[in-house]
Chains A and B, each alone.
Chain A
Amino acid sequence: MATSKLIDMAYFPGCSLATTAKESNASLIAYCRRIGVNLIELPDWNCCGSSSAHSLSRQLALDLASRNLAQIPEGLPLLVACPSCTLRLDEARHHLQTHATARTRFEANWNRPFDSGLKIVHFLELLENKTASNNSNGHCQSLNGLKFVPYYGCMLNRPPSIRSEKNLFGLMEKILAQLGAEPMRWSYHSKCCGTFLSVARPDAVVPLVNRIFENAVDTRAKCIVTACAMCHMNLEIRCTRKEKLPVLHFSELLSLAMGAGDHPDWFARHLIDPRPVLTTYGLLG
């Protein structure tokens, strides 16, 4: 375990991690603690606005995100767990940095100036910034050759405006391989999970999710690892194939390798039970 002093970061869990994906939240906080990062949750955060505010009103999307940005303790970077929340909050940050009228509205609404140096960091970026030794330093348990496919969904898709920013592709494979798991190659790592269409158009999402599982099974992987709680839920609820694979949150495997003891609570919450596979690999108990 890292012995250096803890580094403070502001933290935005988002609605999914606060509710349906509590296991992702708990394992992420546990993992951060072990790599020396202390997360300070925004005191009264609200929904980032999600796809729905973005789809219907630009102003509302910006205002909802701004209320969260106004709660960040001065000078601290903000860590966000969910790729979709990261996108919405970072879009708002970018808009505020480039539009004086938006900054005026921000100050009038929240009684504080917008911090133009604000940094918003997704969980994967945090891991990228740690060196390999930091990430695996002190891990207690090898992942024993667990065969997995990494599933990024749409999170690595960068529209033209941010195309020159860094590409985090391959990070889950790299870090989990350092911890003893075995990544399998496949072509569905960046296929969209269907997000909100899962509710109104399950007929369009089910075949897509089934194709993702089919491809994963073909690689002989024993599980799918996701970095997004929305992807996790859609994969779990929309797979109608008989032969399924458990879907694990990236943070769950990280924390498991670091010897976190409270994992029974996490794995019991999965709709596709990951415990048989993890037991086969000697990773539980």
Chain B
Amino acid sequence: MTDQTPPGGNGRPVNLTACDQSFAATVRKHAGTNFSACLHCKSCSGGCPFSEAMQHKPNGVIRLVQLGLRREALENDTMWICVGCHTCSVQCPMNIDIAAVMDALRHMALATNAELPQPDILTFHQAVLASIQTYGRTHKLDIMMRYKLKARDFFSDMNVGLRMLAKRKLDLTPSRVRQVEEVRALFDATVED
């Protein structure tokens, strides 16, 4: 595996005077894991099943954070591609919970309205939450419809959907919570927080 991408990304030089000196400490506090111990051995990047689909490999993101390159760290797609399978955290010889760093970066990117390089993944998460807010449970057909409308992706996976319908694996009607207003109240309370 080769990782040619320097910390600035796309071969751009890194201006270290522009670094945010407090960024690493903020991420560390949110993530609850000490990534300054990272050796850059790339065990995480070698083991990650989705390394190839990421702009920066997992250890590359750690490096961006260490250097205080806030914008680069919050506006690349790595933490959105990350599914939290913890393969990286298991393989890390320094016991760094890399998936927790990705969680922290995702939350910080949302909180600061950072530009999102993978809006479709966020669209998917939002479709799931909208389904939970409506029914209290996830309704796969509803999630797919919401996702496709917003992502403007109408035709992919039609055959998969039809095969699932034919096998009665995709229910037309949702499985619902009876006291769904209790669930909706949780969403309202989160917005207030």
Contact = CB atoms under 8 A, between A and B. Distances in A.
A26 B160 CA distance: 24
A154 B86 contact: yes
Contacts of B123: 200
Interface stretch (A136-144, A179-187, A264-272): A264-272
B66 interface: no
B129 interface: yes
B75 interface: no
A204 B179 contact: no
Contact of A44 (B52, B89, B132, B179): B179
Contacts of A200: 118, 120-121, 123-124, 147, 151
Contacts of B25: none
Given A46-B132, A64-B186, A271-B167, A159 B97 contact: yes
Interface residues of A, number: 52
B163 interface: yes
Query: Which among B107, B118, B129, B143 has the highest number of chain A CB atoms within 10 Å?
Result: B129
B19 interface: no
Nearest to B30: A58
Contacts of B147: 199-200
A97 B160 CA distance: 42
A186 to B, nearest CB: 16
Contact of B89 (A160, A208, A233): A160
B187 interface: yes
B158 interface: no
A154 B89 CA distance: 12
Interface stretch (A27-35, A189-197, A246-254): A189-197
Interface in B78-123: 81, 83-87, 89-90, 92, 95-97, 99-100, 103, 106-107, 110, 118, 120-123
Contacts of B187: 60
A157 interface: yes
A194 B85 CA distance: 9
Given A159-B86, A192-B85, A47 B125 contact: no
A55 B97 contact: no
Nearest to B153: A200
Given A51-B83, A196-B83, A159 B99 contact: yes
Contacts of A130: none
A202 interface: yes
A76 interface: no
A153 B87 CA distance: 10
B169 interface: yes
A57 interface: yes
Contact of B53 (A51, A53, A161, A204): A204
Contacts of A204: 50, 52-53, 81
Interface of B: 33, 49-50, 52-53, 81, 83-87, 89-90, 92, 95-97, 99-100, 103, 106-107, 110, 118, 120-126, 128-129, 132, 136-140, 143-144, 147, 151, 156-157, 160, 163-164, 167-171, 175, 177-179, 182-183, 186-187, 189-190, 193
10 contacts: A56-B126, A63-B186, A159-B90, A160-B96, A196-B125, A197-B121, A200-B120, A200-B147, A202-B157, A233-B169
Given A47-B137, A160-B33, 6 more contacts: A59-B190, A60-B129, A154-B85, A192-B49, A201-B121, A202-B157
